[in-house]
Amino acid sequence: MKLSKGLITLLVVLAVVFFIFIWAKNAFNSMVSQEEQVTSAWSQVENVYQRRADLIPNLVATVKGYAAHEQETLEGVVNARAKATQTTIDPTNMTEESLKQFQAAQGELGSALQRLMVVVERYPDLKANQSFLELQAQLEGSENRITVERQKFNEAAKSFNTYIRLFPKNILASMFGFERKAYFEAQEGAEQAPKVEF
């Protein structure tokens, strides 16, 4: 039985279309999977930032008991916390601009907490208070977790961004609307060592 040239051509075209379909399906599914990993990593970042934010009211209340006349510093922490918890990002529509706004709000909260810790140095009784010491340790643990989760997020974003930019997957990514994810970056001025004066 001899196949006609037309039938052979049709079979070759169908085989090529089938292999292109399989490749496109696998590439698309990989993009979806990696984008979900970025979203999951972002959820963990938000989770650890929320943990830090949840510790702040107790910390402020403890400090207020010892340093009531440091009202301006305490209000600064409370206001920075409010702003940080109101700044949210939709992980499916994450842009560099929105991540910078989020990072700026969290940075303001971090700065307010640092100012509070400087104030605490003036109150030896507060520094010896067991509740304060426990809150301070939990806050330090939260800061470490934030660093770890931000790193994991950046790794997931890098993997996704690399995947969608490789040829020919970049064509598929643009067809289906997959866009590059932003990274956490060091805050402005972080490249300079802090100035310490005695």
Residue spans of the domains in the chain: they are 15-176
Find, among 20, 41, 43, 49, the residue nearest to 159 by Cα. Answer: 41
Global pTM value: 0.77
> What is the C-alpha separation between 118 and 16, in angstroms, rounded?
68
**Separation in Å, CA 26 to CA 23, 31, 52:** 5, 9, 40
pLDDT attached to residue 196: 35
Half-sphere exposure of 86 (CA within 13 A, CB side): 7
Find, among 4, 114, 113, 120, the residue nearest to 53 by Cα. Answer: 113
Find, among 41, 165, 146, 60, the residue nearest to 103 by Cα. Answer: 146
Radius of gyration of the chain (CA): 26
> What is the C-alpha separation between 51 and 22, in angstroms, rounded?
43
pLDDT attached to residue 2: 67
> What is the C-alpha separation between 24 and 145, in angstroms, rounded?
38
**Separation in Å, CA 198 to CA 23, 123, 127, 169, 195:** 64, 19, 21, 57, 10
pLDDT attached to residue 5: 85
Residues of the chain predicted below pLDDT 50 = 190-198
According to CATH, the topology of domain 15-176 is de novo design (two linked rop proteins) (1.20.1440)
